[in-house]
Amino acid sequence: MNLSLAGCGFLGLYHLGVVSCLKEHAPQFVNSLRSVSGASAGALSGLVLLVDCPLGLITNEMMKVVKSIRSSSLGPYNPKFNITKTLSALLASFAPDNVHEIVSGRLFISLTRLSDMQNVMISEFHSKNDLIEALCTSSFVPIWSGMTPIIYRGEHYIDGGFSDNQPQPFGQNTILVSPFYGESDICPNDNSMSFHQFCCNNTNIQVSLSNIYRLSRALFPPEPRVLRSMCQQGYLDALRFLQNKMAGYCKYQH
């Protein structure tokens, strides 16, 4: 079985809720996963799923970043704010020194090669720093993250979501996770009457008012209380999935 987490910017707090639920209630399922893949926030959340790390601390640090961005009239475009450096420092602080050995062959990170806008999947990492660079590169949105694309392994790359926002390196038998209401296995249920949907670089998104709001907040974070609610929603959606589809793995008791 494989797991794929959609890229989604600051809505990645939803993924952290999913990750928290899976680690708490289905650790055997997590250990049995052949691969965990993602772009941007999805790849970052995939790392957190595969590595023993302080979820509460990571969530709190992300909330601090959100508050810092929202306190500025320019938001993420404030020249004093560097999301890449902030992300790199956070990853370096909580990831163990051998993290690259733990996730090599299991974590698949989606990148977009700038020269031809083709997707490149990275799954083998030479060092902790190499892994951190790959994750930061997968999250690099031009202008929003900076003016100069990151050079990774000798080539310029940008956010993996521009070419494959929800990578599935092994095709079938992949559980899809997304903070957008749609056809993913783990996602919000908006109870929308709309039958219209669209596909954004491999991520299926149903047309609904809630999804329009979510899309508008992916790069411009909402209030912390809204993000906390999204995190809780991710937890509950994952728990519902475990109970309905993975009961054999689920340790949760009513």
170-191: per-residue pLDDT in tens?
887 999 999 999 989 999 998 7
CATH pick for 2-251 out of 1.25.40, 3.30.70, 3.40.1090, 2.30.30 = 3.40.1090
Q: Is the pLDDT of residue 253 over 70?
A: no
Kindly tell me if the per-residue pLDDT of 247 is higher than 70. yes
Catalytic residue among 40, 110, 139, 163: 40
Which residue bears the tokens 């020249």?
Answer: 79
What is the residue extent of each domain of the chain?
2-251
- Of 37-51, 68-82, 168-182, 229-243, which gets the smallest average pLDDT? 68-82
Q: In this predicted structure, what is the pLDDT of residue 250?
A: 81
Indicate if 40 belongs to the active site.
yes
What mean pLDDT value characterizes the chain?
91
- Taking only the tens place, the pLDDT of each residue in 89-107 is 999 999 999 999 999 999 9
Q: What sign for the dihedral angle of Cα 201, 180, 76, 99?
A: negative
Length of the chain: 254
Point out the catalytic residue in the list 159, 163, 178, 208.
159
* Known catalytic residue at 93: no
Read off the pLDDT of each residue in 113-139 and give the average, rounded to a whole number.
Answer: 97
Classify strands 2-5 and 174-177 as parallel, antiparallel or unpaired. parallel
Query: 50-88 burial by CB neighbour count: b if 16+ within 10 A, else e?
Result: beebebeebbebbbebbeebeeeeeebeeeebebeebbb
The pLDDT value recorded for residue 147 is: 81
